[in-house]
Amino acid sequence: MVKRLTLVFSLISILVTGNPDSLNVLSSFKNMIKTPDKSWTADDSLYYVPAYGLYGGFDQSKIWGVKVDQTKKADTTTLKLVYDSCDFHSPSIGRLTSGYGWRNNRPHYGVDIKLKTGDSVRSVFDGMVRIARYSPTYGHVVVVRHDNGLETLYAHLSKRSVKEGDEVAVGNLMGLGGNTGRSYGSHLHFEIRYLGEPINPKDIFTINDSTFQVRKDSLFLSQKNFSFLKEVRKIKYHRVRSGDSLWRISKRYNVSITKLCRLNKISRKKTLRIGQKIRYN
């Protein structure tokens, strides 16, 4: 029943958006999902692939290929999260070591959960693996698309246990915890996104005693859930070029050197690198 409702809403989404690319990835699913009939149609993608119509496809070329600005979202979208308590599983068991928001003067778009290398990392909901690969930033990483349109990311794994296109059930093993990619100490970096835009996991879960619990059976998604993104996107940076100095940057943007140092957590004696980004507002 849930799949059929997803199909109906996906069809409506394609008709409304008129996205010409929405049917261009059919061939990639022919080998991913086994069906009694070898022929594959658009209806098959809409039926079998989570939120296919909403995203206009199932892009596997980039970790976050689709990004639709939600900071100007004018309405409220209701996303069904669970029908029963067995419809959810904690991604990992461990204490929260870093939250969503600003961290060391940089945006952190997920939460970090302490674990030991080799600990199990599991899917929080049913879904389909869109990304399973190695990334210089995320290390071994898995991204799962869910029927309601949310996507969850599991990063810095020591080993992946799924491949792209796999259908996964709630609680299925995604991989083993680790310290790969841009990571300092074994932990799970966990993100939740909607149409490529990050959401604070605490908008959806309570995190107590090293476990996650769903706050409500539905998420009412509005512009408020993306207020942090709006704040982040107001920030402006100068990219350091040959001959630049803090003095020259301060004059260019009419901001004091003291403020530049405070915003970037650097000293006046800091040597700037070509290509480095310096925040100035």
Phi, psi (rounded to 5 degrees) for 20: -70, -15
CB within 8 A of 45, min separation 6: which ones? Answer: 23, 25, 26, 29, 52, 58
Q: Which domains does the chain have, with CATH numbers?
A: 2-58 (no CATH), 85-230 (2.70.70.10), 237-279 (3.10.350.10)
| Positive or negative torsion for Cα 162, 217, 198, 150 | positive
pLDDT at 279: 93
Tokens representing 193 are 């996104």
pLDDT at 15: 38
pLDDT at 251: 96
Q: pLDDT below 70 — which residues of the chain?
A: 1-38
H helices of the chain, in order, are: 2-17, 26-30, 42-48, 52-55, 227-233, 246-253, 257-264
Q: Which of 108, 109, 119 is nearest to 157 (CA)?
A: 119
pLDDT at 27: 45
Give the pLDDT confidence of 79-109 residue by residue, as tens digits.
999 999 899 999 999 999 999 999 987 899 9
pLDDT at 37: 56
pLDDT at 20: 37
Burial 242-252 (b: 16+ CB within 10 A, else e): eebebeebbee
pLDDT at 271: 92
| SS3 of 39-98 | CCCHHHHHHHCCCHHHHCCCCCCCCCCCCCCCCCCCCCEEEECCCCHHHCCCCCCCCEEE
Give the pLDDT confidence of 213-225 residue by residue, as tens digits.
999 999 999 999 9
CB 129 within 8 A of CB 166: yes
- Please tell me whether the overall predicted TM-score, pTM, comes out greater than 0.85 for this model: no
- Location of structure tokens 């959401």: 199
Give the pLDDT confidence of 157-176 residue by residue, as tens digits.
999 999 999 999 999 999 99
